[in-house]
Amino acid sequence: MAQKISRTYAMIGILFLNTVLMFAACNVAAWVYGLFDEDDADAEVDQPTPNAALEVYWLGALGGDFDDLQEIYDYRSSSEIIWMLLETANLTKVCDDVTGFREPEYHGQYVNVHEVGFRYGAEQVPWPPDPDNLNIYLFGGSTAFGYGEADEFTISSHLQRQLREELGTDRVALYNFGRTFYISLQERWLFEQLVADGFAPDVAIFLDGLNDFFYWNGEPADYSNCAPPVDKSQRWQNTLTCQADEVCLPVQDLANDLFDASGSTSGSTDATVWGTIDYRLNAETPPADDEPTLRGIIERWDENRALIEATAQDAGVALLFVKQPTPFYAHDLELNYFYDSIEDFGDRERIHWGYQLWDGADEAEGEGENVLNLIHLGEEVDEPIYLDGTHYTIDFMDEIAAVLRDELLRRGVVG
C-alpha cells in the first residue's frame, strides 16, 4: 500500500515538474519569438519623431510644423519636448466612482500623478494632508493640471513656492486636483467627496471657464470606455490577468498580440483630442452664439459655486473661484501659433461668445467676493502665453500664480 502511494506521489511530482518545465519552455519560446518579430523589433528600434509628438498630443493646429513648437518651448531641447508631450499623452483615463473618470496613477520623468488623483508638484507634500500645514487644493481642468509642462512648473507649484517665500515658511502645501476635461460639476463632486472623507483643505481654488462652455449642456465628457484603476491589493491577480501597470509574461504578451491581430481589442480606447471631439455635437447643437444656451451655462456654474460654498462653510474652507484666461477671448491672436481669427476656433467658438457674456458678470450680477476675474490677464503681454492653443506657458502659469498669491493675501485667506 505504501509503495502504491509512493508511486502516486512520484507521478504527481513528475507531472507537476513537466508542467512547470513546459510552461517555462513556452515563455522562452514566446520571448525568442518576440526578439525576431518584425513589428516588435521595429517598435523597439524606432524613436519618437517630432511629428509623433504632434500627432499624439493635441497639436493638430500646428500642421506638423515642429519648428513652431520649438519656438514656443525655446527653453527646452527637441528631445525634451517630444518625450514630455508623449508622456503627457500617455495619460489615458481610469474610471472614478465619484467623478466618472480621471488621470491614472502615473510616474514619469515629467508627469507624476498620485494614486489619490492629484498631480505632484515641486517639493510635493505627502498625502494625507498634515493639519499643521496650510493646505490648499487647486481644482480645474487640464489647464490647472498643467498639460504640456512638467510637474514643477504648474500653477500649483508656482503658487506653493511663492506663498512659502512670502510667508517665510515651508508649511504651505499645495495639492493639484486639476483633471483634464473637468467641468465645475465634477469639481464640485470631487470637493464634496474629499470633505466627506475627512480631507477638507484650508483653502480651495477653482479655475474655471473653458470646459464649462465647451461641454455646453452641463454633462461631463463621455469617458464610458475608461479603464478600471489597478487594485494594488491584488497584485497576483493583476499579473495573472496581465492588467495595466503590471509585468506580463511572454506568453501573455504573445496571446495579447494574437488576440489584437484577430481584430479584437483587449483594452479601452481613449479619445484625447480635446478640441475636435464633442460627444454631443449634432444637428440639434445650438449655434455657438446662442444666448439662452450661454446664459444657461453661466447659471449652472453659479449653481455649482453656491453648492460648493455651502459645503465649504460647514467645513470651514476658504474659497476662491477664478475665471480663467483663455486664447478664445481677450487675447491677441497675432501672438498665437494656432488661431488667426475667430473662424479658426471651430467647436471652441462657443467659449468666445460665452466669455463675452461672462466677462463682467461678477459686477453686473453680484457674483460675490470670492470670485476673481482673470479673463483679461495676459491681454497686454507681447509674447506667446499658450503652449498648444489652450494650455499655459511656464511664465504665464507663474503670472497666474502670482495674482492668486496676492489675492489670497489681500483677502486675508492666508498669512
Residues 367-377: pLDDT tens digits? 568 999 999 99
Q: Is the pLDDT of residue 45 over 70?
A: no
Cell of 103: 488621470
Phi, psi (degrees; rounded to nearest 5) at 371: -105, 125
Q: DSSP label at 389? A: S
Query: Is residue 267 classed as helix, strand or coil in its secondary structure?
Result: coil
What local confidence, expressed as pLDDT, does residue 323 receive? 98
Q: What percent of the chain is modeled with pLDDT above 90? A: 55
Q: Is the pLDDT of residue 120 over 70?
A: yes
Q: Of 12-26, 133-147, 286-300, 324-338, give the lowest mean pLDDT range.
A: 12-26
Q: What is the pTM of this model?
A: 0.78
What value does the mean pLDDT take over residues 286-315?
A: 97
Rounded to 5°, the CA angle 149-335-386 comes to 20
**Euclidean distance between CA atoms 161 and 169, whole angstroms:** 10
More confident residue, 284 or 171: 171
Contact between 26 and 251 under an 8 Å Cβ cutoff? The reply is yes
Contact between 185 and 304 under an 8 Å Cβ cutoff? The reply is yes
Q: At what angle do helices 291-315 and 184-196 cross, to 10 degrees?
A: 10
Burial 79-97 (b: 16+ CB within 10 A, else e): eebbbbbbbbbebbbbbbe
Residue 174's Cβ-side half-sphere holds a number of Cα atoms within 13 Å equal to 30
**Euclidean distance between CA atoms 223 and 201, whole angstroms:** 28
Q: Is the pLDDT of residue 382 over 70?
A: yes
Burial 294-303 (b: 16+ CB within 10 A, else e): beebbebbbe
Q: How many C-beta atoms surround the C-beta of residue 224 within 10 A?
A: 10
What local confidence, expressed as pLDDT, does residue 268 receive? 33
Tens digits of residue pLDDT in 197-225: 999 999 999 999 999 999 999 999 987 77
Q: H helices then E strands: how many in the chain?
A: 15, 9
Which residues is 102 bridged to in the sheet?
94
- Average confidence score pLDDT of the chain: 82
